[in-house]
Chains A and B, each alone.
Chain A
Amino acid sequence: MAEALDLKAIGTRPVRPDGIDKVTGRAAFGADLHLPNMLHGMVLRSPHAHARIKRVDLTRARAAEGVLAAVSGADFPGGAGAGDLAKNVIARDKVLYHGHAVAAVAAKTLLQAEAALDLIEVDYEVLDPVMSLDEAMADGATLVNESQHTNGDTSKPASNIAATQRFERGDLEAGFAEADIVVETEHRVPMAHQGYIEPHACTATANEDGKATVWCCTQGHFDVRSLTAQVLGEKVGNIKVIPSEIGGGFGGKTTIYLEPLAVRMSQMTGRPVKMTMSREDVFRATGPTSGTWCRAKIGAKKDGTFTAASAWLAYEAGAFPGAPIGPGCMSVLAPYEVPNLVIEGNDVLVNKPKVCAYRAPGAPQSMHAMESAIDELARQLDMDPIDLRLKNSAAEGTVAPYGPRFPAIGLRECLEAAKVHPNYTAPVPEGAGRGVAVGFWFNIGMQSSAEVRIAEDGAVTVMEGSPDIGGSRASMALMAAETLGVPYEQVKAHVGDTESTGFCNVTGGSRTTFATGMAVVQACEDIIAQCKQRAALTWDLDEEQVDWVDGEAVPKPGVNADVKPLSLADIARGAGRTGGPLLGRASLNAQGAGASFSCNFTDTIVDTETGKVDVLSFTAVQDAGRAIHPSYVEGQMQGGAVQGIGWALNEEYIYDDNGVMENAGFLDYRVPVASDMPMIDTEIIEVPNPFHPYGVRGVGETPIVAPLAAVSNAVRDQLGFRIPDLPLSPPRVLEAIDEQGGGD
């Protein structure tokens, strides 16, 4: 078991391998590539939220000075499977949101490309946009897609409800009847964006032999390869994708937008084509997360025991199906033992950009609802909110609402640690409020590959395919160093392109340190097996007689051999005589991603004359299974907390009546700035995941889940009444205070 191991590298905090490049400006991100003869591509975007495209005429644009290519939807017949993805990359018959790509041009200079956009003629038949869940779900609603039927059931009329999901257990009505207290709340949270600082960017170069290379910032270059191939109707093997450094993604860089356009225009011109999004494009036309409407209901006995709970979720999908209702439903009650429950989710089309993953997609919104209801329940029961959660906490053996039985999990440990944390035992500051909430993410495994190569002096190169979005190369190097028994400094970890390393799924679902890490560990074990075999050969022993201890091959205890241990360097130096270079490999489809639970609490204070909420302190306690590089685990917890706080307080997509986003920039889409935030205190809990060699659980997503409710509950604590909707922006808070007759 992992905890029995005497760890040397894991748990230390070395400087990351890519660190120096990133503090000196040398690291090359998506927009940093300049190729000779390069053209600049730009996209013409829809000025309407919903319209039929009657005609697109590129003639004048193609004739403009410096323009070498112009494309529209007709230039992308696409593979059969491309469907919605292809239509999102470039519109065909309809534009479905303001900012939807309609055409693109490539020209010798950016200014020429920009000028040419004005020469593209598009005739639209403007349709009514569907901008809210209420509108979309109402009887007789305007349809975003006239051929969309709920769950594909064509026996029913077309609907904006693309899909539904339902989890059920026990007898809900009986459960509520059994309760002494039942609380019901209803919450709306508008669409929000990941807000990564680096806009999407790519450069494509297509060769005369039909092969194309795409350089881009992505969370998954193997997915960019397959998705781009689908949209272009190309073979996967014709496309090579080189991942640049990536300037943040949080789920938002798990799909494609510009890549097929750049490849197609490079194919048409024989020249490299670079395309970058403006910040405005990023807000209008990439994939934010769903705006939501959630109802939560929970019943308990007087002693706090939950008897029943239900959740009803409606999530905006944007223009195409795919809202994260699955994870929203999975998460909402996952932290608790609830004997009777019903959870329902609705995936609803609206004329907004197609949503993409955003850090624990779907969980923050549904859990904001349920954790708010549980907070109210604690108040009515006059119980400490941590005690109420402890009383009902899921633990090893609990059957999750979505089916499986939890193996070892760390929720109880998180709650217990929070309860005795000095920030929690300290009194609430004068006039302020305190809020508690629990967070959860199930985490995923999926496919990863890794190779480990040993140079002649024993230097270790780890080659893997998970784009490093927050320091994962350091984690890979630490796990390799630990497994091989060599110093961290001897190991370098690299992220290879689609042709220099084996397939890896996206960096997402908090899978990288878990799954790719497992592949790295297995590839190192492959190296160790080879080293033992080489040493046996050198010593004329059987392989079974050789052990690997602290980075050296040694004869097993009791084996009678008068030999000096052989280090990795010794074996590598002599590898030519023992069978050739040392190359370890592993590929896997990782099973057993351990769920990560958290407990967050925060003290906030509302200026009751202006409605402004200040966060005085914030404490995040989370189960990491095993923290490979504790600084980067803390970093995930702190970064996720601040994103969650931003979402709770100010972040929202604001639309006008025509479906045009009014705040498509960092000026008015208000992510937290340094002066808005206190230090974010962290406590890492380590309940090892039994399915990872070192006990790793994914940690990246859970941190954003609890802050929404923690902040809401803190504001509730001070004001004495709940403001159910987010964000808790000053106008909303002041209006609520006024309605209640003037605050405290």
Chain B
Amino acid sequence: MGAYAYQAPASVEEALSTLAAEAAAGNRAQMLAGGTDVMVQMRSIDKGPRTFVDVKHVAEANELHIGDDEVFIGAGIASAVLNENDELKSILPGLIESADLIGSTQIQGRATIGGNLCNSSPAGDTIPALIACGAVCVIASPGGNREVPTEDFVTGVGTNVLEPTEFLIGLKIPRPKGRSSDAYLRFIPRTEMDIAVCGAGVALTLDDSGVCTAAKVAIGAVAITALVVPDAAAALVGTTVDDEALSAAADASSALAKPITDKRGTVEYRRKVVGVLTKRAGAIARDRALAL
């Protein structure tokens, strides 16, 4: 039986060598960001010993960069920090609200978008929002950094493309241009503190006349991974994102959803409500874009 340990590397290089050394020694290593999922799992469904490798002291994972073409959000940055950044909130309101929806104020003080993605839960709130806004995962790998689109990152319930010797440094998001905006909505039974029963992220671009020229729709908690809904996007493009288009997008989301019945909702409920959320998030994204 191995032992628990904790490491706090200061750089990508150091973190990679820590991961490599633990792998070589036959130890399990687990990256630790906010820890809000890891700590709970460690006491319930995943009790085994491991070495925690804390990403929060890795310099590169603490970078937050808002460039002309690209936004970079380090994997160690707490949601509360993102939510306090007004510029970021105005550029990517949907993504930031998806991070802001996760848990309580207390959770916000620790939880990170990177952690939410790496936890790879079907119900992770930031995942549909990241997919909708075209985010790319920047992965530190022994052979150098590699990049993976967020929609290809999660491979199943709790699984993703990361190798044991790799970790997520952060997310690269193309900076929306012109009249582009996004929105994310999820449904929970209470106003706070629940896991998403289903969720929908919509990012879109309007031309000067208000006609949608590009859209991306992703839905969560209705399949083993978040799903991109091309038919929903297609229903919006070329329209003014009016009720009819939104209704068609809603139907596309409901049609693609492959949910399960569990303690949080039924198949029928999730399928129906994910459409409602697609419609509502689409309207919010449209209004935001029109206001730009």
Contacts and interface: CB of A to CB of B under 8 A. Distances in A.
Q: Say if the two chains contact directly (CB < 8 Å).
A: yes
Contacts of B269: 611, 730-731, 734-735
B190 interface: yes
B273 A662 contact: no
Given A672-B190, A673-B191, A734 B273 contact: yes
Contacts of A668: 194-195, 263-264
A662 B265 CA distance: 13
A667 B265 contact: no
Contacts, number: 56
A666 to B, nearest CB: 8
Interface string A597-618: 0000000000001111000000
B145 to A, nearest CB: 35
A730 B190 contact: no
Nearest to A661: B263
B192 A667 contact: no
Contact of B191 (A610, A666, A675): A675
Contacts of B191: 673, 675-676
Given A731-B265, A734-B269, A667 B195 contact: yes
B193 interface: yes
A663 B195 CA distance: 12
A654 interface: yes
Contacts of A663: 263
A205 B276 CA distance: 59
Contact of A667 (B193, B262, B272): B193
Contacts of A722: none
A235 to B, nearest CB: 40
A734 B190 CA distance: 15
A371 B187 CA distance: 31
Interface in B214-257: none
A675 B276 contact: no
A142 interface: no
B213 to A, nearest CB: 28
A729 interface: yes
Contacts of A166: none
A670 interface: yes
Interface residues of B, number: 20
B268 interface: yes
A17 to B, nearest CB: 31
Contacts of A735: 266, 268-269
B178 interface: no
A622 interface: no
Contacts of B187: 610, 612, 730
A254 interface: no
A650 B189 contact: yes
Contacts of B262: 662
Interface string A664-698: 00111010110110000000000000000000000
Interface residues of A, number: 24
Given A667-B193, A675-B191, A730-B187, A654 B276 contact: no
A673 B263 contact: no
A670 B190 contact: yes
Interface string A484-506: 00000000000000000000000
A544 B191 CA distance: 66
A610 B263 contact: no
Given A654-B263, A662-B263, A734-B273, A675 B195 contact: no
Most A Cβ at <10 Å: residue of B189, B192, B194, B273: B189
B193 A731 contact: no
The main secondary structure of chain A at its interface with chain B is loop
Given A670-B189, A729-B189, A610 B273 contact: yes
Contacts of A675: 190-192
A673 B266 contact: no
A663 B269 CA distance: 19
A642 to B, nearest CB: 12
A112 to B, nearest CB: 14
Contacts of B264: 668
Contacts of B197: 730
Nearest to A655: B263
A676 B266 CA distance: 23
Nearest to B250: A609
Contacts of B276: 609-610
A610 to B, nearest CB: 5
A670 B190 CA distance: 8
Contacts of A666: 193
Interface string A718-744: 000000000001110011001000000
Nearest to B277: A610
A668 B276 CA distance: 23
Contacts of A729: 189
Contacts of B44: 280
Nearest to A674: B192
A716 B269 CA distance: 21
Contacts of B195: 667-668
A718 B262 CA distance: 28
A281 B262 CA distance: 21
A650 B273 CA distance: 18
B189 A673 contact: no
B264 to A, nearest CB: 7
A670 B194 contact: yes
Interface string A301-335: 00000000000000000000000000000000000
Contacts of B192: 673, 675-676
Contacts of A667: 193-195
A670 B264 CA distance: 11
Nearest to A734: B269
A612 B239 CA distance: 30
B193 A673 contact: yes
Interface in B256-289: 262-266, 268-269, 272-273, 276
Contacts of B263: 654, 662-663, 668
Given A654-B263, A663-B263, A668-B263, A734 B272 contact: yes
A738 B276 CA distance: 14
B190 A650 contact: yes
A13 to B, nearest CB: 30
Contacts of B193: 666-667, 670, 673
A730 B272 contact: no
Given A609-B276, A663-B263, A668-B264, A730 B189 contact: yes
Contact of A673 (B190, B265, B268, B272): B190
Nearest to B268: A735
A667 B265 CA distance: 14
A734 B266 CA distance: 11
A259 B264 CA distance: 35
Nearest to A675: B191
B269 to A, nearest CB: 4
Contacts of A611: 269
Contacts of A609: 273, 276
Interface in B163-211: 187, 189-195, 197
Given A731-B269, A734-B273, A612 B189 contact: yes
16 contacts: A609-B273, A612-B187, A612-B189, A662-B263, A663-B263, A667-B194, A670-B190, A670-B193, A672-B190, A673-B191, A673-B192, A673-B193, A675-B190, A675-B192, A734-B272, A735-B266
Given A612-B189, A730-B265, 10 more contacts: A611-B269, A666-B193, A668-B195, A670-B193, A675-B192, A676-B191, A729-B189, A730-B189, A734-B273, A735-B268
Interface of A: 280, 609-612, 649-650, 654, 662-663, 666-668, 670, 672-673, 675-676, 729-731, 734-735, 738
- Which 9 A-B pairs rank lowest in CB-CB distance, beginning with the nearest? A675-B191, A731-B269, A662-B263, A609-B276, A654-B263, A676-B191, A663-B263, A650-B189, A675-B192
